[in-house]
């Protein structure tokens, strides 16, 4: 059964259509790459699923519910922006997550904090962008959520940190959950994807399993992506 069901989803910003009649069904137990050029609607789609945008048309269901209190309790969302106040320390952020999310595992969070060599009492305003991204990833992955929505979790960090983030993501991911992973760094992460979604300016260009792509097109996901979006080849 699909844990995410999207039907005829439309979203506009003024005269600009960001999502155009998008329909999609995603099952639990998969890691899905959400790929597309800048401004194609990836972040908007994730925001709608996370309950951050409510002025859309169409149907969006997470575990049978439109985005609401319940879906927020089962979905763990990592935005591309840093959302913690400058005064907040990792321990303050853990307090908030422990208070509001019953699936937040503080022990696991502390373990990841040590793994990333972050200090529990360091205010985020004193952290580098990479450190802040690691902290947010810890918050998201320390939850035993049923759906993970990750928006550019590796944007703006060095290759070593990227590998560390990927390791942590895979280690903490539980196999009965669905993970949607939006990224531009396809070559770095395509090995972890079960399937990929190519989103081209609000429209679904491709939704296919990675193994099938390799068999059918004889290309890697990265190669196919470059071909589809650089040359505007329709599939």
Partner 1 sequence: MFGKLVKHEFRATARIIPFVYLVTIFLALVHIIMTKLHFDAASKISLVLMIMMCVAQVVVAAALVVWRYYKNMYSNESYLTHTLPVKPSLLLWSKLLVGFVWTLFSFLIGIAVSGVVMVTEFIKSADPLAEISKGYHSLLLLFGLQNQEAVLWIIMIAWMIVMFVMFLAEAYFAITVGSLSKMHSLGIGGPILVYFAEYIALQVVGTLTILFFPLGLEMSTTADGALAGFKLVTQNMFSSLNETISHSGVSGADSGIIGIGYYILIPFIAIGLLCWTAHIIKKHTSVK
Residues making contact with partner 1 (CB under 8 A): 13-14, 47, 50-55, 69-70, 72-73, 75, 77, 79, 81-85, 87, 92, 95-96, 99-101
Among residues 50 and 206, whose Cβ is nearest to partner 1?
50
Residue 136 CB, nearest approach to partner 1 (Å):
9
Residue 65 CB, nearest approach to partner 1 (Å):
12
Q: 119: Cβ–Cβ under 8 A, 6 or more apart, which residues?
A: 90
Phi, then psi, of 36 in degrees rounded to 5: 170, 165
DSSP 65: B
Q: Exposure string (b/e) for 75-93, b if CB count within 10 Å is 16 or more?
A: bbbbbbeeebeeebbbebb
Among residues 65 and 191, whose Cβ is nearest to partner 1?
65
Residue 64 CB, nearest approach to partner 1 (Å):
16
Among residues 29 and 100, whose Cβ is nearest to partner 1?
100
Among residues 64 and 159, whose Cβ is nearest to partner 1?
64
Closest Cα to residue 137, out of 51, 47, 77, 73?
77
Residue 91 CB, nearest approach to partner 1 (Å):
12
Residue 74 CB, nearest approach to partner 1 (Å):
9
Residue 122 CB, nearest approach to partner 1 (Å):
16
Give the DSSP letter string of 81-130.
S--S-TT--HHHHHHHHHHH-TTB-HHHHHHHHHHTT--TT--GGGS-HH
Among residues 135 and 224, whose Cβ is nearest to partner 1?
135
Q: Residue 88, by phi and psi: left (phi above 0), alpha (psi -120 to 50) or beta?
A: beta
Among residues 57 and 163, whose Cβ is nearest to partner 1?
57
């Amino acid at each position: 059964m699909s844990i995410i069901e999207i039907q005829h989803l439309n979203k506009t910003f003024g005269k600009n259509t960001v999502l155009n009649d998008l329909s999609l069904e995603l099952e639990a137990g998969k890691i899905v790459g959400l790929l597309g050029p800048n401004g194609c609607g990836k972040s908007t789609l994730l925001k709608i699923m996370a309950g951050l945008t409510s002025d859309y048309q169409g149907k969006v269901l997470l575990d049978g519910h439109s985005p609401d209190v319940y879906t927020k309790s089962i979905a763990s969302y990592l935005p591309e922006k840093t959302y913690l106040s400058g005064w907040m320390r990792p321990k303050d952020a853990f307090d908030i997550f422990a208070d509001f999310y019953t699936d937040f595992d503080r022990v696991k969070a502390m373990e990841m904090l040590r793994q990333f060599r972050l200090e529990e009492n360091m205010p985020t305003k004193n952290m580098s962008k990479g450190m802040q991204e690691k902290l947010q990833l810890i918050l998201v992955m320390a939850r035993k959520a049923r759906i993970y929505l990750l928006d550019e979790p590796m944007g703006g960090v060095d290759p070593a940190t990227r590998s560390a983030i990927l390791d942590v993501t895979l280690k903490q991911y539980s196999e009965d959950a669905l993970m949607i992973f939006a990224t531009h760094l396809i070559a770095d992460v395509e090995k972890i994807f079960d399937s990929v979604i190519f989103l081209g300016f609000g429209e679904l260009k491709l939704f296919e399993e990675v193994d099938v792509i390799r068999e059918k097109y004889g290309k890697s996901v990265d190669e196919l992506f470059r071909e589809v979006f650089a040359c505007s080849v329709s599939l």
